[in-house]
Amino acid sequence: MDFKICIIGAGVVGLAIARELSKKHKGIVVIEKNLRFGEETSSRNSEVIHSGIYYPAGSLKAGMCKNGNRMLYEYCEQNHIPHNKCGKLIVTTHSDQLPQLNKLLAQGMANGVENIQLLTKEEINESEPDIYAENALFIPSTGIIDSHRLMKQLYSDSLTNGVDFVFQSRISGIRKMDKGYILNVEDGTGSGDQFTSARVINCAGLDSEKIARMTGIEDEANKLHFCKGEYFKLAGSGIKRLRHLVYPVPDPKLAGLGIHTTLSLDGSMKLGPNVIYLEENMYDYSVDPSHKKTFFEAASKYLPFLEEHQLEPEMAGIRPKLQAEGEDFRDFVIQDETSRGFPGWINLTGIESPGLTSCLSIGKYVGDMFQESKDIE
């Protein structure tokens, strides 16, 4: 056997799993189709460290996010990764939204999110005098992080622990053996090769469904839907500086968290993301300038100082969603496929937000799955 463990995908979750497993196991390889780590979903997001308030109690997203929040701040402190525990306000702009805010408060408390506060209009004005809100939830454990520096540190830790990384290599075929798997790869020139691995972890993000199907795992319930989110940056004079992230009350189905205001570590601000389901799961990172008006109308409800000309297109990301447009909440899928006839195969599917926040806790979760297995050594 060429390797004991093959990890497909070097996004932030793949890197975190590599770091965690390499503490105890040797013979690990990470295969990544892009030129370097984290070039897709992991680097095209708000870079927010979430608290865990949004997700149903008992869900993987709630638990992974809550634990990941604590683990991520500790890891940042230990490794001098730039971050800012600035806190977040989830605001209402009219009284009809207050029941939804109270529901979020109850859910956050059920999920163990600490020190949530329900603020009055007067209390909001004291901390953020330039926004408009009738009420708000203040979540002090929310923050922002330099996601590239985080991934660089996870990559460095993994290399130190002996993990091999192979970039610009795309999985082109997978075949199950009696023990382990044969994986075919193609490099950037189109040349092919193959290797064997006793165990495989599929955390290929946007390609995770495609990789599972290559193996022979067909599961319509875990079909992915590409969902684009665009961002607009705030530029020009007259922009007020905020101390906290500011979010509207979210869509109850959690298709997105609403067009919110995110702070960058350099003090600049951006708005986004919106929610655009893409046809045929295409890779489309364009930003439509005509959407500026929609962004302005959404954000100006709680940013009264905002002027439409201050918005400029910035970037877009794509979420690998399990829920189709209009469907209810779907949780992370982290599944050992042994019971379906694929021993030694672990699928991670639908790892969207809060995947960045949850990366270290997902790494530990997968590591615990290996601890329970007896066929790794």
pLDDT digit string, tens, across residues 86-136: 999 999 999 999 999 999 999 999 999 999 999 999 999 999 999 999 999
CA distance 301 to 292: 15
CB under 8 Å to 73, separation ≥6 — which residues?
49, 83, 85, 143
Cβ-proximal residues to 325 (8 Å cutoff; 6+ apart), any chain = 225, 255, 277
Instruction: Reply yes or no on whether the pLDDT at 376 is more than 60.
Output: no
* pTM of this structure: 0.96
pLDDT score recorded for residue 250: 86
Average pLDDT, the chain: 95
Per-residue pLDDT, averaged over 73-77, amounts to 98
pLDDT tens digits along 231-270: 999 998 889 999 999 999 987 766 678 899 999 998 899 9
Does 157 reside within a domain? yes
Domain boundary among 321, 343, 360: 321
DSSP state of 253: T
Is the pLDDT confidence value at 3 over 60?
A: yes
The Cα-based distances of 61 to 81, 116, 137, 263, 330 in angstroms read: 24, 19, 20, 23, 9
pLDDT, greater one: 220 or 147: 147
For residue range 294-331, what is the model confidence (pLDDT) as tens digits? Answer: 999 999 999 999 999 999 999 999 999 999 999 999 99
Please tell me whether residues 205 and 230 are part of one structural domain: no
Q: Are residue 254 and residue 297 in the same domain, yes or no?
A: yes
Q: Are residues 19 and 115 in the same domain?
A: no
Alpha helices in 141-280 (DSSP H): 147-160, 208-215
Q: Is residue 52 in some structural domain?
A: no
Does residue 61 fall inside a structural domain? no
Average pLDDT value for residue range 193-210: 97
DSSP calls for 268-312 = -EEEE---EEPGGG-------GGGHHHHHHHHTTT-TT--GGGEE
Domain that holds residue 26: 3-44+148-222+330-372
- My answer on whether 169 and 190 are in the same domain is yes
Instruction: Report, as an integer, the average pLDDT of 201-225.
Output: 95
Q: Is residue 123 part of a domain?
A: yes
Domain co-membership, 300 together with 230:
yes
Q: Do 217 and 239 share a domain, yes or no?
A: no
In a domain, 104, yes or no: yes
Q: What is the mean pLDDT of residues 28-48?
A: 97
Contact status, residue 106 vs residue 60, Cβ threshold 8 Å: no
- Judge if 180 and 133 occupy the same domain: no
Residues 356 and 212 in one domain: yes
Asked whether residue 70 is domain-assigned, the answer is no
165 and 210 share a domain? yes
Q: Are residues 24 and 133 in the same domain?
A: no
The span from the CA of 177 to the CA of 117, in Å, is: 55
Q: List Cβ neighbours of 328 (8 Å cut-off, separation of 6 or more).
A: 253
Residues pairing with 54 in the sheet: none
What mean pLDDT is predicted for residues 3-8?
Answer: 98
Do 309 and 169 fall within a single domain? no
Q: What percent of the chain shows pLDDT beyond 70?
A: 98
Q: Write out the E strands in the chain.
A: 3-8, 28-31, 48-49, 83-84, 88-92, 117-119, 135-139, 143-145, 164-166, 169-176, 181-187, 192-202, 225-234, 245-248, 260-263, 269-272, 276-277, 311-321, 333-336, 345-349
CATH classification at residue 231:
3.30.9.10
With respect to residue 108, please indicate whether it lies within any of the assigned structural domains: yes
Q: Tell me whether residue 241 is exposed, middle or buried, using C-beta atoms within 10 angstroms of its C-beta: 0 to 12, 13 to 18, 19 or more.
A: exposed
In which residue are the tokens 């939204």 written? 97
> What is the number of residues in the chain?
377
At residue 377, does pLDDT exceed 50? no
- Please state the domain count of the chain: 2
Q: Say whether both 178 and 132 belong to one domain.
A: no
* Nearest residue to 39 (alpha-carbon basis) of 283, 261, 236: 283
- Per-residue pLDDT at 256: 77
Q: What span, in angstroms and rounded, lies between the C-alpha atoms of 162 and 302?
A: 49
Task: Please state whether 58 falls in left (phi above 0), alpha (psi between -120 and 50) or beta.
Answer: left
pLDDT score of 253:
66
Alpha carbon separation from 282 to 160, 164, 224, 313, 330 (Å, rounded): 36, 30, 12, 20, 21
Asked whether residue 80 is domain-assigned, the answer is no
